[in-house]
Structure formats: C-alpha cells, structure tokens
Amino acid sequence: MSDTPEARVQRELEEGIQRDFSASMSYGSYLDLDRLLSAQHPRSVPPQHDELLFIVQHQVAELWLKLMLHELRSARVLLTTDDLAPALKRLARVKHIQNQLTEQWSVLATLTPSEYAQIRPFLATSSGFQSYQYRAVEFMLGNKNRDMVAVFDHDPTAKDLLSEALGEPSLYDEFLRYLHRRGYAIPQAVLERDVTTPYRMDDDLVDVFAGVYADPSQHWGVYETCEELVDIEDNFQTWRFRHLQVVTRTIGHKTGTGGSSGVDFLRRALDLTFFPELYAVRTRIGG
C-alpha cells in the first residue's frame, strides 16, 4: 500500500506506551475523573438539553476560583516573608486564571432567554451569589463584608472558610506591610486598621505611591507590584461587566433566583474597588 497521507488511517501506538493500569496509576485515577465527571446532576423534568451547559459552566468556574484562592494565599504568604519575585509570579498566574473565567461567559451567552427559561425553575433559590469561593476571593482582595458570612450558616465548611478569610489581612494589607518594612512611609492608621472591615482609601498613602510612580526605576519592584494589582482589579471588573451583560441578555431585569434585584445588584458591584490609592495616584502622574 502506498505510504500517502490518505493511506495512513491510524497512528500506531509506540512500544513504550503504557497499556496496563491494573497496578499503575492512570490519568483518570490521578484526576479522580470518575467522581468529577459524575458530579453533574441535572434537575429538570422533563430533561432539558441546556441544563448541562449551565452546570458545567459554574462547576468549572468554581475550580478556577479554587486555584485562584490557592495562588492568592501563596502570594500573600510570600509577601510576609519579603519574597516579592515569586509573589509576582503567583499574581501573574492569577491574571491568566481571570482571563479563563471571563472567557467562559462567552459559552454561557449562547444560552438564549427561551432556553434558560426552561431550566430556571429547577434552580429554585440557588444562585451564583452563594458562591463562597467567590466571596473568599473578594475578601482576599480587601472587599470584606461580615454580613456575607451569615449567608452560609447552613454550610459549616463555607462559613468557617469565610470567617477565617474575614479575620485575615488581605493581599493589599500584606503588600502595605511589606512596604512599611522596606522603609516606605505607610500611615500608621493603615497598618493598624481593622482587617475585618472593607478597605478605605487613605490620602497619605496616595502620596507614597505618587513617589513610586514619579521615579519607577528607583522603585521598580514596588512599581511592578502596583501595576500587577491594578491588572488584577481591571480583570476583576471585566469579569463583573461580562457577568452583568450575560445576565442582562438572558433574563433582562428579572429578579435573581437568589432573591437579589438581578442586573441592578450586579451593576452596583462595578462601583467597588480593591486598591483605591493605586487608581487615585493616576490623577497625580504628570501633574
């Protein structure tokens, strides 16, 4: 037979490729795929084709959020030990995770209002508002809200995670403490603030960052970290906006399944900021 592309109907397995997994770990067992791929439980009766999309979309988002928390926690620990370079590596990975989360909305946006209406009754009172990992990410970035912890009274694991995150310094808190140890004039009120409360802008801290941005070459590591944090907030806002747009095109101005006002509630989140001084300083740059 001629050895042409048309004639090559299959690729032969190489001799060294593992075939027997009776006593060896396989790809599926390492990733626990039996459990992972059996974790989708559509509730619609009669079954609706698009419900699997809705479930997988949100389960995948939760996996990315799990990894994001892992990277943010590591970055925070590295800042406490003054290891800025590897902390920046963690933040760079966080940005790529955020890109994945934002791009996912394009898949869910293929769900039309008519299609979603077929599955929405079966969601009952469940809502993305109740994602405790998303709340933990917000807490990690400084948007603390004690009232959110009570939403998870029914789930001890989630409540314990959020209670712990509420009481811990945010990533930004640890960055400012790092700057203090490096000799920057971080206001004492910022260093001693109650970390269980939402972060509030300090005008004196804007002066500190104005000095950094006035001479980046002399403050390169700090300057780079500031821009990484701005990237993360920018990405977060892009994610929020895409969420808002997908919800708008899918349910309009209906009330959310979890009881929120829906689109209006999501729109107000766009006014939240994690690192206010890093945006305020931009007004100072270039005089």
Q: Binding site annotation covers 54?
A: yes
Q: How many CB atoms lie under 10 A from the CB of residue 15? A: 5
47-283 has which fold? Answer: Methane Monooxygenase Hydroxylase; Chain G, domain 1 (1.20.58)
Q: Binding site annotation covers 257?
A: yes
Q: How many CB atoms lie under 10 A from the CB of residue 13? A: 8
The SS3 of residue 257 is: coil
Q: What is the pTM of this model?
A: 0.91
Query: Which residue, chain included where needed, has tokens 């469940």?
Result: 126
At 18 the pLDDT is 83
Mean pLDDT by 10 residues, the chain (287 residues): 64 82 90 97 96 97 98 98 98 98 96 94 88 96 95 95 97 98 98 96 97 97 98 96 90 77 78 93 88
At 287 the pLDDT is 66
Q: Where are the domains of the chain?
A: 47-283
Q: Tell me the C-alpha distance between 48 and 226, whole Å.
A: 47
How many CA atoms lie less than 13 Å away from 34 in the CB half-sphere?
A: 3
How far out from the chain centre does Cα 58 lie? 13
Q: Binding site annotation covers 116?
A: yes
At 259 the pLDDT is 73
At 132 the pLDDT is 95
Q: Binding site annotation covers 172?
A: no
At 8 the pLDDT is 66
Q: How many CB atoms lie under 10 A from the CB of residue 277? A: 22
Q: Which two tokens stand for residue 127?
A: 């809502």
Q: Binding site annotation covers 58?
A: yes
Q: For residue 243, give the nearest of 227, 229, 228, 256 by alpha carbon.
A: 256
Q: Binding site annotation covers 57?
A: yes
At 201 the pLDDT is 95
Q: Which two tokens stand for residue 1?
A: 């037979």
At 52 the pLDDT is 98
